[in-house]
Structure 1
Amino acid sequence: MTSTLRHAGTFQLPADHRWVVLDVETSGMRAASHRVLSIAALAMRQDGSVERQFSTLLDPGCDPGPVHVHNLTPERLAGAPRFEDVASELNELLSGRTMVAHNASFDYGFLAAEFQRAGFGMPIENRLCTLALSRRLEIDVPNHRLSTLAQYWEVDQLEAHDAYDDARVLVEVFARSASMAETLQLPLPVVRCTDSRVIARPDQITRVPSTFVNPGRLDEAHGLVQGMKIVISGSTRTPRMRLAARLIEAGFDVTNSVSRQTSVLVCNDTESQSGKVRRAGSDVIPVISEQRLEELLARVLPGILKSDGVQVPVPVDAPAVPLTLVEAERAITLVPEIVAPAQPVEVTPVTSPSVAASPSSRRAKAWQGRRVLLLGGSHLDAVIMRSRIHQLGARPSLNLTAAVTEVLVLEGGESDKRMTRIVERGLPKISESDVNEALVSGAVPDHMKLESRLAAPILMRGEVVDLPPTQSTWSVNVAWRAENVGDEYDVDVVAFLLDSTGKVDSDQDFVFYNNTADEDAAVELSVDGGSEQSIRATLDSLPEECTRVVIAAAVDGERTFGDLGAVSVSIDSPDGTFATFVLDVGTVERTMVLTEIYRRGGVWRLRAVGQGYNQDLGAMAVGYGVEVDDD
């Protein structure tokens, strides 16, 4: 496809990468089971112009999915090439280049899965997410959708969710964003992605949660009951996917991992001592052969619908009999050592209009929306001053970004390498005395900017807020100083899906770099940059037994959170930032619980935690019930 691209201005992109902007439209959200419908790739010169482009519709060989989003009907896709038909040409274009995409982990995952199906290796070794870049820059936008960024950078968007037009818009958004990053001396959030953890695993069963209540463990005297959770392990006579599809159609919940909720494990080789067989043995979960499964499938008992508690007949020849629920597994009462305080501080949500206008809240309003960058001082000095800035309602900034309104200069701060850029931008410099005086009087120093920005509420440690019930999808974005990247600062953001006992139900409920999503894809890790990682949670998709999602971070090796410095956490919906907080109390801790989302009284709540521990990630995982290998 050939088109004329408007190129407003000349930019100098970093010369250490060869950039290619890419966008895909897909039939769904899971790279392992959905397909790419259209793709556009625009290779860029160092001045930001496009030197080569590729764009095509693709025949996915399946239902195109949400046509109302991408407008790619089966009729439009008829006659288009298959991905394998264009894989060689696309591979040649992408090889040796750094991929730029909006929500790059999504596009990269789909592209990797398609290349794998076509028999190719993934040609992309590095990627950059413009959504992460926009967050790192902290530009003044209500949200970081591509359409919002296009409006901010004054780029015409002609047809949203069209792969070519989105890529065309992204070329200019990226060029302008990279130019701003250079003026701020902010490194670009380039991620190496040559490992295999985001490659689709086609042998994994795509889970379709059953519409029936889980009746518990299999009692062979009663037989199979709709809603039972069934796990298949090892080789089977019937192809695994076909067997799983048959079980799903019959009303069962087929999962990939064994948990305390599992009803029965199907395995033809019970002597294999695989991880699934060992877990079934330790939890006294019945293990049956494929042949025995076939016998039991001849007579399936009706289950209870989750929606209305009504029994429905099974479409098999055997007559239905009244359902006798198997007694639930005895609840485990042990509580892990690594937990947030047992008695959390419950407060009125900071967005509530009922908060009284006390003197402290009036002072907070005077400084609300300000972003203050700290330069110089010791670690303790920085912790104290960030706390005082927080009390005034301002937000400490970890980097020199577009949002910084003032710079607090402590001892030694004048020699910071960013001072030249700070002077060029005309940012006011304030002192420790300015902050201390404002705490007493609530005054805004004359040399500070008078205007303030709209800002999301800033939470204190231990503070709890209710999440709006109308919003289910949230992103917990964790960031630290962009200069603190490299081998010496290997930081991992993780999530634990916990049940009422404070434990994971299975190892799949530990989301980390080697398991980037839970089995339902309700909680997913995204590595967005060298100092940015996100945990994305869809609360409506969480399994019933999950009552709490704990989000934590670990510094690998001998480094600690005292070395890393402050950590910023923002909780975002697709429409914008809901709340933020900065944690900087770490000293010798190697792991830290950052925040948790938990269910209470039918309402999902969020707590800012900031509790650190002097142990590694493995010990933290074991505390939450994860089985960790000795190595």
Structure 2
Amino acid sequence: MLEDHTAAAPLFPAQQTAAARTWPSGYPDGYAVVDVETTGLARDDRIVSAAVYRLDARGEVEDHWYTTVNPQRDPGPTWIHGLTSEVLADAPLFGEIAEDFAERLKDRVLVAHNAVFDWTMISREYARAGRVAPVRQRLCTIALAKQLDLPLPNHKLESLAAHYGVQQRRAHHALDDARVLAEAFRPSLRIAAHQGVRLPLLACQPLTEWSDAPSSPGSARGGYAPRTWRPARRRPACPYPNPGRYSPGGTLVQGMRVAFSGDTSVDRELLEDRAVEAGLHVATSVSRLTSLLVTNDPEAGTSKVGKALAFGTPVIDETAFSHLLRDVAPAPTR
């Protein structure tokens, strides 16, 4: 099911005081406010519906778009998104809506509530379809609310909506969630512009390499394999002792503790698999024992980057790490 509405009226009247001031010259030229509903939270989960509200540079609504998507598997938590196997059986596959979706994302900053999740799911779907998502920057409305120091009891979407008096009609319906977020983002954007606040923009690294798990019987269009909404997998412990920190310009040594932060062009789990196969320990956080942090965006200000700087942990990008993986030194003999 596809819905495309162009030339939509503004969601509510623009505040005249903001228009009277000079708009910050470094702000983006347009935004794509996005929400996706999914079969779950794991690497191989799929999108079941997607919605986009396109806004211009000053937050005025240009149009909106919505579609359901056949995930080619069990739809997961139907009690949350309400989309059953029967409803999705005749929905288009992601590859069939990828071009329309891309047209609405192109040359815009992707805006979402907990944007890393929406971006991760979108980039994975494009990688599966053999395409690259046309997104170069994202903005998380949670991060923006924190930057503006909004008096919210928590950082749920409903709390942000209530702060601005936005009424939610169908929670966890992608189109309504995108509408609510667009209505809440617009005044936040104007406050940021009025105060000259630097927007919390993060770079997006589109996936260029993806490897699917073996497909299960019944995974073709209209058939759904009995899959569950499962947590991320656990890897066996690294069999080698930690030899210490990586020395810039040197080689990796089996047993080194490697952490990752931010987007990677190779699917994160695939990149971690390669590190484990080389005899490295993949760490989920950064500590004084971490040998190396891999990130493509060292200026992102994430907690991992901040800890790496505080501990003096070496930081390299994905390309350099991939080169180092080709020749990892064996663990020292005891």
Greater helix content = 2
| 2:56 corresponds to which of 26, 45, 54 | 45
Structure 2 counterpart SS, 1:100: strand
3-state SS of the aligned residue for 1:38? strand
Which range moved further: 32-41 or 89-98?
89-98
Q: Which residue of 1 aligns with 2:41?
A: 29
Q: Indicate how the Cα distance of structure 1 residues 199 and 181 shifts in structure 2: closer, same or farther if over 3 A, else same.
A: farther
8 A Cα contact 1:511 1:518, kept in partner: no
Partner of 1:186: 197
Work out which of the two has the higher radius of gyration on C-alpha atoms and give 1 or 2. Answer: 1
Aligned to 2:176: 165
Output the CA distance in 2 between the equivalents of 1:592 and 1:105: 18
Question: After the TM superposition, which residues 466-481 of structure 1 pair with which residues of structure 2 at under 5 Å, given as runs?
Answer: none
Distance 2:153 2:181 in 1: 18
Deviation at 1:115, TM superposition (A): 2.1
- Secondary structure of the residue aligned to 1:121 is coil
After superposition, what is the alpha-carbon deviation per residue over 1:226-264, rounded to whole angstroms, capped at 9, x for unaligned?
xxxxxxxxxxxxxx778xxxxxxxxxxxx8988635xxx
Among candidates 62, 66, 82, match of residue 93 of structure 2: 82
CA deviations over 1:360-384 (Å, ceiling 9, x no partner)? xxxxxxxxxxxxxxxxxxxxxxxxx
Structure 2 CA distance, aligned partners of 1:110 and 1:61?
Answer: 15
Conservation of the 8 A alpha-carbon contact between 2:287 and 2:311? no
Aligned AA (2:33): V
Distance 1:45 1:166 in 2: 19
Which of residues 603, 616, 629 is equivalent to 2:314?
A: 616
Pick one of 235, 238, 246 that aligns with 1:260: 238
Please state whether the residue corresponding to 2:107 is helix, strand or coil. coil
Deviations 1:257-294, CA, capped at 9 Å, x for gaps: 88635xxxxxxxxxxxxxxxxxxxxx6xxxxxxxxxxx
Over 3 Å counting, the alpha-carbon distance change for 1:175 and 1:192 in structure 2 is: same
- Superposition deviation, residue 52 in structure 1: 1.6
1:202 to 198, 201, 211: 211
Query: Residues of 2 paired with 1:22 and 1:547: CA distance?
Result: 31
Query: In 2, Cα distance between the equivalents of 1:115 and 1:95?
Result: 14
**In the alignment, residue 36 of structure 2 is paired with which amino acid?**
V
Distance 2:254 2:306 in 1: 18
The answer to whether the 8 A contact 1:259-1:506 is kept is no
Letter paired with 1:616: P
CA contact (8 A) 2:32 2:54 kept: yes
Separation (CA, whole Å) in 2 of partners of 1:547 and 1:257: 11
Asked if the contact 1:109–1:200 (Cα under 8 Å) also holds between the matched residues in 2, the reply is no
TM-score, reference length from structure 1: 0.37
1:102 to 93, 113, 116: 113
SS at match of 2:35: strand
1:213-252 matched pairs, under 5 angstroms: none
CA distance in 2, matches of 1:48, 1:592: 32
Measured in 1, the distance between the counterparts of 2:190 and 2:95 equals 36
Closer/same/farther in 2, CA of residues 133 and 516 from structure 1, 3 Å limit: farther
Query: Structure 2 vs 1, CA of residues 135 and 241 (structure 1 numbering), >3 Å: closer, same or farther?
Result: same
Asked if 2 retains the 8 angstrom alpha-carbon contact of 1:260 and 1:506, the reply is no
* Cα deviation 1:302-356 (Å, max 9, x = unaligned): xxxxxxxxxxxxxxxxxxxxxxxxxxxxxx5x78589xxxxxxxxxxxxxxxxxx
Which AA in structure 1 matches 2:186? A
CA distance in 2, matches of 1:592, 1:54: 38
Structure 1 residues 310-325: aligned runs within 5 Å: none
1:107-160 deviation digits (Å, cap 9, x = unpaired)? 112112222333332112222111111121121112111111001111111111
* Counterpart among 511, 519, 523 of residue 260 in structure 2: 511
The residue aligned with 1:542 is: none
2:238 counterpart letter in structure 1: R
Query: Whole-Å Cα distance in 2 between the matches of residues 555 and 505 of structure 1?
Result: 14
- Counting aligned pairs with the same residue, the percent is 29
Give the whole-Å Cα distance in 2 for the aligned partners of 1:121 and 1:109. Answer: 12
CA contact (8 A) 2:127 2:210 kept: no
TM-score w.r.t. the length of structure 2 is 0.65
Q: 1:548 to 1:35 in 2, by over 3 A?
A: closer
Amino acid at match of 2:155: H
Counting only pairs closer than 5 Å after superposition, residues 141-160 of structure 1 correspond to structure 2 as 141-160=152-171
TM-superposed deviation, 1:551 = 4.7
Deviations 1:36-78 (A, max 9, x none): 1000011113443321211011111110011122111112223
AA of the residue aligned to 1:201? W
More strand by share: 1
* One-letter amino acid matched to 1:129: C
Structure 1 alignment gaps of length 5 or more: 206-239, 243-254, 262-282, 284-331, 339-502, 522-544, 557-563, 570-590, 595-609, 619-625
Of structures 1 and 2, the one with the larger relative CO (CA 8 A, separation 6+) is: 2
SS in 2 for 1:75: helix
